[in-house]
Structure 1
Amino acid sequence: MSYDLAGKRAYVAGHKGMVGSAIVRRLESEGCTVLTSERSTDLREQSAVREWFADNQPDAVVVAAAKVGGIFANDTYPAEFLYDNLMIEANLIEAAYRNGVEKLLFLGSSCIYPKMAPQPIPEDALLTGPLEPTNEWYAVAKIAGIKLCQAYRKQYGVDFISAMPTNLYGPGDNFDLANSHVLPALIRKAHEAKEASADSIEIWGTGSPRREFLHVDDLADGAVFLLKKYSGEEHVNLGSGTDLPIIELAQMVCDVVGFDGSITKDTSKPDGTPRKLMSGDKIAAMGWKPKIELREGIADAYRAFLAGEGKQ
């Protein structure tokens, strides 16, 4: 089954974020009209979302809007991470159904999987064990989004699908050290250390946890691929298929940035999940794979940081 985006009205919720803006860029080559809503439309408010859908009548929807952040942000604002994300996804999915949307793609996160999931993580590992405590609030909200798409699909026969991206990075990222993810935080730390002629930068934890990273432009390409080619109840992993220890990531970032100092470890800080590599077998079997190598992608993200593209 295929879905032709040409001539359609495609709404990207969260278009000003790193993921949403990348999907907007990617959709521009599909011959569709890309719709966006201004920040004045509070996606947490049901009436505002219903009014926007009634006025704009999109044919396809990508749910890329979410409250996101790293370990510190998740641990500090658990109520906001759970409530805001539940409201955003529920309002968008319900409004899409009520207004006859033909295709909807809900984007989740790899943190939906159990802390000790098998590696690489297959899609059917969902709900097979306890979550990582440091981001369980966000994970529970994203799991609810998957289940909501499945429920609407089962009850109403709508073509609502879900994809689970791995750790993302690239232009438009959040480089704020207080609430960013690990890769943009490392880019900023290494840059500021280079500028200050510092002797070292510090990373959280032991540096041993392994993480997988996908450039946001690859994610956007994979998302559009699924919109066009996939129709099924089960969510689909979207990742790079490779991972590396955080300490090696830090060394690669320092090399790209041009910081030649040392890397110290604050072992009083949490490591998070020991490893989180997702299986990409399902989408690979459909004919899709990422194109951007990690070092090339980090260089692109650093260029974006220097240009002020993203939250500083």
Structure 2
Amino acid sequence: MNISFQGIEGSFHHEVAVGYFGQAHEWLGRDHFGEVFDDMALGRAEYGVVAIENSNVGTIVGNLDHFDRADVHIVAEVYLSVQQCLLIHPDSTLEDITEVQSHPMALDQCRAYLRERPKWTRVEVTDTAGAAKWIIENDAKHVGAVGSALAAEVYGINVAAHSIQQDATNQTRFWVIAKSGQPPQSSRAMEYSALKATVSFETSHETGALADALQAVKSNGWNLTKIESRPVPDVPWRYRFFCDMELEPTVNVDEIESSLHALEQAKAMQLSRVLGVYRVYAF
């Protein structure tokens, strides 16, 4: 089975993919999130893994926009406790380091640790694991990387410091996506903590229109956990709303779609879409 994700082997995306799918798969590491959605849409991979939100930094809003151009569905959500490490060349010591590379989000999560080391230049790169790989490939003894312990294992680099993120509760939530809308058979025996749905919709540009839509969500017994607005492409100053909701265990996609259709008929919302009804896991 082909699994697409942003980054390379040893990245946090790869860690989530291994935790959810297991080891025996073909990994397709991509430079950009959009390529993962393209892999789904074009049939190059059965499943993809994309980060959607970090507890410190917030939502990766661009990944909401990708649902506009790719007919894919969310089939699972995974919470990963992010433990950032300082990775250095096996022949280096901390005294040798003058530069630290990583993904901008990882650098931001470790800003307090890095602030205490003002002589280290921070360099943003596209991937945490890619920074670790680059150090080994280029024998860069003066460069450190912020990344995972898995990246250290994959590329044979040393962990000089563990858990350097400033928030011990730092978590990232990831979506597992698929064109089919069905989770892999192997995941069905895994323990999960909740059932959720993500829907998108627009409203009329009238006073109270969003309030009416949210009242309808409440009336259906859906527990709203997050709402985000994004600009509608090619329509200036019009917005689409994305809602995450916790559901009762017996609710299914057909019930959600039927309820949204009824809300459209009642003029409470427009152009609604169910992006997925899925189980939530934590690693």
Same fold by TM-score greater than 0.5: no
TM-score class normalised by the smaller sequence: under 0.3
Q: Please, what TM-score do these two structures have when normalized by structure 2?
A: 0.26
Instruction: Point out which structure has higher relative CO (alpha carbons under 8 A, 6+ apart).
Output: 2
Q: When you count helix as a share of all residues, which structure comes out higher?
A: 1
The structure number with the bigger radius of gyration is 2
